[in-house]
Amino acid sequence: MRQAKSSRVVVVDFGAQYAQLIARRIRELHVYSEIVPCSIKAEDLLEDPPKAIILSGGPKSVNEIGAPTLDSKIFELGIPILGICYGAQLLAVALGGKVERNESGEYGGTELRRTGTDTLLGTTPSLQKVWMSHFDSISEPPIGATVTSSTDGAKVASFEDLSRGICGVQFHPEVTHTEHGKTTLANFIFGVAKCDATWTNFSIIEESIALIKEKVQDSRVICALSGGVDSSVAAALVHEAIGEQLTCVYVDTGLMRSGETESVVETFRDRFSVDLISVDASQRFFEVLAGVVDPEEKRKAIGETFIRVFEDLRPELGKAEFLVQGTLYPDVIESGTKDAAKIKSHHNVGGLPDDMDFELIEPLRALFKDEVRAIGEELGLPEKMVWRQPFPGPGLAVRILGEVTKEAADTLRQADLIVSQEIETAGLTGKLWQSFAILATNLKSVGVMGDERTYANPVIIRAVESDDAMSADWARIPYEVLERISTRIVAEVKGVNRVVYDITSKPPGTIEWE
């Protein structure tokens, strides 16, 4: 999406996992922001000059050979610039300051001391907690800049030169662990860069609809509809734009949750009168997954098979040229970008075939889940749909450790239903980001049931709390709820004799196991 309003903030990505989180925080201030690569040139920015530039953090040292840099002409554009962590160090070095290697780094919560009156930290306390993650530190600020705060490990924790609109912070204001991070960002956006707060959920919807109309014209469009909030909101946006030109396709992969297919068809075809085709392709998916145990191969096989199913439908759908997907930013960043590490391929990003015969429409690609939910509410989608827990596009396939078979899917479906029922009965569904079961078909353990020895598979329970899926903490589910889940799974699900609970946060783990 491209914002047409006057205020636009560009976040330059130096390989930070949280570059998009910076952009999101700016959008929370109702100012449009977008990510650009650090290879961007000054002339590119001048084609549509932003009101402000933010330089993200990054994994490198500015003194390291081959570390990412920025076109020096950008510093001469007169556009206010805020550097964060690596970005602040790069700003310092580029403008006459110095960055040196410390004997030890600063990581996690740190006490920041303000050293004077300034705009960037204005209205925040003289002592405050900030989140640090650095080894190098700024020993001298840019020439002409004033040091405005320090910590025990960073004598230049922030600096500014308002005559040039230059500001830098060694800490991370975008993370919630920094007490007054949002205020710091707001002080830069409104106090230094003088941006206007004009970007709202309504403007996102309005702009998306306009762009979709412009792109599609009179063409037919297919929407890959899973029934989850992402694809549902994407479908609603596109339907608002082009109406009857859209056909939604629900593909039953055989890897869906219990009752999923019936629920999706009832909701969209019967309640919303959307043109919906339901395709049972379960046998096809199990065939391509036969013998596949590597998670990356699973995702790629599923991604390609989805596309082939849609391509097979093209003749009866007026040879549709476009395919709508509910791709979100976490899908994109985890699948790997030019400057960020690849965590895992998502079936709708890294898993797509190179010879795909569709042009993609992804109206949610720059958004986080909570932003998508807010847009869904604005569009009038049912609350239960908007706030349902996320479910991966590859379905149960990435929750089966080992080969994916119909039998394994049936077993996991039973266990997952029990988890859902007990979590809902306990009133925890809305408090958790996700709660689900995982089946380890590649692992067996000894048990005893009815005085007889068993040798069967374990089920792992995963439940996490999160705001955006970029980080997550394991949920402290009451023991009695876990006990009911375990007792029921072992008693009711054939082939399972052990239940364990995953207490790993993200990072270091991911929410899904594969």
Q: Which residues are catalytic?
A: 85, 172, 174
Of the candidates 15, 99, 90, 92, the residue with the CA atom closest to the CA atom of residue 58 = 15
36 class by beta-carbon count within 10 Å (0-12 exposed, 13-18 middle, 19+ buried): middle
Q: Backbone dihedral region of 443: left (phi > 0), alpha (psi from -120 to 50 degrees) or beta?
A: beta
Helices 406-425 & 282-289 angle (0-180, nearest 10): 110
Measured between alpha carbons, how far is 319 from 302 in angstroms, rounded to an integer? 23
Measured between alpha carbons, how far is 238 from 394 in angstroms, rounded to an integer? 23
Measured between alpha carbons, how far is 380 from 419 in angstroms, rounded to an integer? 29
Tokens at residue 150, please?
């320090």
Measured between alpha carbons, how far is 242 from 400 in angstroms, rounded to an integer? 38
Helices 295-313 & 282-289 angle (0-180, nearest 10): 140
Of the candidates 330, 339, 338, the residue with the CA atom closest to the CA atom of residue 392 = 330
Measured between alpha carbons, how far is 470 from 13 in angstroms, rounded to an integer? 16
Tokens at residue 169, please?
């912070």
